[in-house]
């Protein structure tokens, strides 16, 4: 893909200028802060989970373009999904950034798959995984 880099930048800019999920969530039933001291990214992720399905989610906070876009794309992907599926997607994302996810798995991440190249940018890894790592911690602790 020759224009992959331009496409990547366009998506990052779009999610930063027009984040779909960056807002308060007053009726959330889960809340967790994610902090990346290396870069200063500081987000609070909130989820509303009903019958083991992520019915809504949002984040607040601040950080670099990658951390914000990654959290926004993550919420695009997991809202409406069962908890198990959201955990499965988070696992793929975290492995993608480590460079161990397959192409088929990365396809499951839809738009978030564009962050694959971050695996070659060690300084940005913690930015990209911040939201996903926070999501995984929140949902993993919810076993009934």
Contact footprint for Zn ion (CB under 5 A)? 39, 41, 64, 67, 127
CB-count burial class (<10 Å; 0-12, 13-18, 19+) for 32: middle
Nearer to Zn ion, 41 or 136 (CB): 41
Q: Is 105 helix (H, G, I), strand (E, B) or coil?
A: helix
Q: How far is the CB of 41 from Zn ion (least distance, A)?
A: 4
Nearer to Zn ion, 49 or 129 (CB): 129
Q: How far is the CB of 3 from Zn ion (least distance, A)?
A: 25
Nearer to Zn ion, 49 or 74 (CB): 74
Q: How far is the CB of 128 from Zn ion (least distance, A)?
A: 8
Q: Is 82 helix (H, G, I), strand (E, B) or coil?
A: strand
Angstrom distance (rounded) from CA 140 to CA 115: 23
């Amino acid at each position: 893909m020759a224009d992959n880099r331009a496409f990547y930048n366009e998506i990052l800019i779009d999610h930063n200028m027009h984040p779909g999920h960056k807002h308060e969530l007053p009726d959330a039933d889960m809340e967790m802060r994610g902090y990346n001291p290396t870069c200063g990214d500081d987000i609070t992720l909130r989820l509303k989970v009903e019958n083991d399905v992520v019915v809504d989610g949002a984040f607040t906070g601040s950080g670099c373009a990658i951390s914000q876009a990654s959290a926004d794309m993550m919420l695009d992907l997991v809202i409406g999904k069962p908890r198990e599926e959201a955990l499965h997607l988070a696992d793929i994302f975290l492995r993608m950034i480590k460079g161990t996810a397959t192409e088929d798995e990365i396809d499951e991440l839809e738009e978030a798959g564009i962050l694959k190249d971050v695996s070659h940018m060690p300084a940005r890894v913690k930015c990209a995984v911040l939201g996903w790592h926070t999501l995984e911690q929140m949902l993993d602790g919810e076993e009934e």
